[in-house]
Amino acid sequence: MLNISIAGHTDNVGEKFGLIKLSEERAKTIKNYLIEGGIAAFRVTALGYGDSKPLAPNDTEENKSKNRRVEIRIVGR
């Protein structure tokens, strides 16, 4: 059986605690959507990483927008 891992991310604008909370909320929103769509809750994990894993430097608005994201991965069997 496959499981789903959801990771929420933010740019670096704001306080660290707030960024973690925002990224967690992003991931939980996707998790809830999948559960409402019929995926069993025990198969879905959601974590927030705040600004700790940027895809691009947070030096321009375009780069910051790349860091505000949710990643979904299919994991395990």
Residues facing 7 on adjacent strands: 47, 71
State the residue for tokens 């306080």: 15
What pLDDT, on a 0 to 100 scale, did the predictor assign at position 76? 80
Q: Is the pTM of this model over 0.85?
A: yes
Q: What is the CATH number of the domain that holds 28?
A: 3.30.1330.60
Angstrom distance (rounded) from CA 64 to CA 54: 9
Tally the C-alpha atoms within 13 A of residue 2's C-alpha that lie toward its C-beta. 7
pLDDT in tens, 17-73: 999 999 999 999 999 999 999 999 999 999 999 999 999 999 999 999 999 999 999
Number of structural domains (the chain) is: 1
